[in-house]
Amino acid sequence: MSPHTTRVAPRRLVLLVGLGALALLLGYIGYRDSAAGGFSQSEALYRSVQLFSVEGSFPNQNLPVTLEIARFLAPAVLASAAILAALTIVRERSQTLRIRFRTGHTLIIGLGRTGATIARRLHAEGRDVVAIEADANNAQALGLRARGIPVVSGSGSDKAVLERARLGQASRCLICAGDDSVNLGILAACVGVLPESDSSGPSLFMVVEGVGLWGELHRLAFAKPRHRRIEFFSLSDRIAARIVSTACESGEPDQVVVHGCGPVGVRVVAHALRRSLLAGKDPRLALVGPEARSLRALLEEQEPWSMRFVVAEADLESPSVAFVCGVPEADALAAAASLGREFSGKVVVAVPDKDAEAALERTHFDLVNVELVPAEAEALSEAVFDQSATEVLARAKHADYVEKEHERGTFLADNDAMVPWEDLHENWRDSNRLFADSVGAKLARMGASLAPVAGAVTREKLAFPDELLEEMAVEEHRRWQEDLEKQGWRYHSGEKDPEAKLHPLLVGWAELSEADREKDRDAVRGLPLYLGKLGYQVSLPNKSPLS
């Protein structure tokens, strides 16, 4: 079907077809039973079909009620169909014109459940959204159009379709059009459409269903130099990260119980253990419930490092949190009730949405130490982008910068960047994101690789030869200076001004003070801490990278 083929909303189409069939039936009965008589069945059917055109003819007297209804209903149905088709054409042409001038929008390729849900939520938050959908009969696409969201019909791997949706002018693009192989093909097409030398183009996000594939792609996205921001999104991982972060709001637990299975269960174990390790703790974790054996098998296959922390439930002295995840909602709530009776810690349960909590409150279910987290609903929102790996690295870099500046005696009165990430000027956020983009190049320069976090991560874990540290600090300053200048920043000798894009440190390394040089060295030294937030540790080769 052509991208410009007119489509009518399914409910209206069904109504029109039903009314048309009714007019045809009433016309047939009317002609057959008319006083004029003499009409055969085929003649009655033929004349009833003519009711939908100007050629219809009627007996001169005593028209049956059925024929009277049919002679008006048939042309009314025909006229309604024509009007609806015209309105559809006007709406689609209007949306095409609106897309033509779009910039800075979010482009979503594929309107299955994930893509359509995210599109609706972004639109409800006031975000500018454009979508691409290959299935001309996709009901989600029709629903989004009705909300005013432009939808381009066609394949996401078609260059003309990507250009019509203004991929090059988008701020970001989410690919969720099908299975992993389809999405990889679309990702390749998007990279091919965008100018190779333009690193300022849209960030590309790809949904990955297979957790194993996601793990490899996620690691490679930061283990190698990258010239374009490409991220890989796993719903299972985001659900797990969300419920673990909920449990850790008051501190990282070192004794954990997990009742779960499947990919979400695996990722909950990985996130819970790594958060404890990054906090310098020696965690212990017990698997419980009927799915414990299958979850153990998955962990041995996908996260073998985690098994040295897994113990029997009886070996835990006082677990402070229990996770229920990856199981059907009814089973999850039953498990939560049981766990809530067994120990005094918090029970964190993953549920699809907030309806479950409302239902439990109506049944007077005891929620004193049970917290229901609608992790999936929260993941399919702006969180796809603002909790991406790049954002995690950028936030970690900024938090480390603030901590180091405090140690030097610098406070908000002296430096307007000494604020939490949420209050940080967008220009400073972008600077930290550009640092995250450079991590792969830094690892390559060191000859290092990434491995799963399997122990405590500190600065001392990665000892740089002094000569390498200095060279990388010089390179980091050069990278920072070039990135800011590409964004329109200029040198001036006064205070830095993020609004006017003026900065006093846009000078060569030799012109920096020793204190400012130390900031660049800190950025290099902090790599293990930043990457630890993503679940990776930096492994240096056996021999020195300098040799």
The confidence band for 465, taking pLDDT boundaries of 50, 70 and 90, is confident
253 pLDDT exceeds 60?
yes
**Closest alpha carbon to 400 in 344, 457, 355, 445:** 457
Between CA 289 and CA 323 the distance in angstroms is: 11
Please tell me whether residues 257 and 291 are part of one structural domain.
yes
Amino acid at 445: R
Q: What is the mean pLDDT of residues 522-545?
A: 80
Please tell me whether residues 176 and 315 are part of one structural domain.
no
CA triplet 316, 299, 260: central angle to 5 degrees? 65
Crossing angle of helices 65-100 and 10-33, rounded to 10°: 160
Residue 178 domain-assigned (yes or no): yes
Please tell me whether residues 527 and 397 are part of one structural domain.
yes
What's the pLDDT score for residue 495?
Answer: 86
Element (H, E) at 285: strand 284-288
As beta bridge partners, residue 153 has: 133
Tens of pLDDT, residues 223-241? 888 888 999 999 999 999 9
Reported in sequence order, the residue ranges of 194-279 that DSSP labels E, i.e. its strands, are: 203-207, 230-233, 255-260
3 state SS of 388: coil
* Both structure tokens of 398: 């900024």
Residue 432 domain-assigned (yes or no): yes
Residue 188 domain-assigned (yes or no): yes
Please tell me whether residues 245 and 342 are part of one structural domain.
yes
Tens of pLDDT, residues 347-379? 999 887 766 666 666 555 666 788 889 999 989
Tens of pLDDT, residues 81-102? 888 777 766 666 666 666 777 8
DSSP, res 137: T
Please tell me whether residues 372 and 393 are part of one structural domain.
no
Between CA 482 and CA 78 the distance in angstroms is: 64
C-alpha neighbours within 13 Å on the C-beta side of residue 4: 7
Helix and strand numbers (H, E) in the chain are 21, 16
8 Å CB contact between 389 and 221: yes
Residue 221 domain-assigned (yes or no): no
Tens of pLDDT, residues 125-148? 999 999 999 997 888 998 898 888
Question: For position 140, which CATH number holds?
Answer: 3.40.50.720
What's the pLDDT score for residue 154?
Answer: 92
Q: Quote the domain boundaries for residue 451.
A: 388-539
pTM beyond 0.85: the answer is no
- Full DSSP string of 478-513: HHHHHHHHHTT-EE-SS--BTTTTEETT-S-GGGS-
As beta bridge partners, residue 284 has: 255
- Express as a percent the part of the chain with pLDDT over 70: 88
**Closest alpha carbon to 51 in 71, 31, 36, 35:** 71
What's the pLDDT score for residue 199?
Answer: 67
Number of domains in the chain: 4
Element (H, E) at 372: strand 370-373
The confidence band for 34, taking pLDDT boundaries of 50, 70 and 90, is confident
Residue 71 domain-assigned (yes or no): yes
CA 448 to chain centre: 29
Residue 278 domain-assigned (yes or no): yes
3 state SS of 318: coil
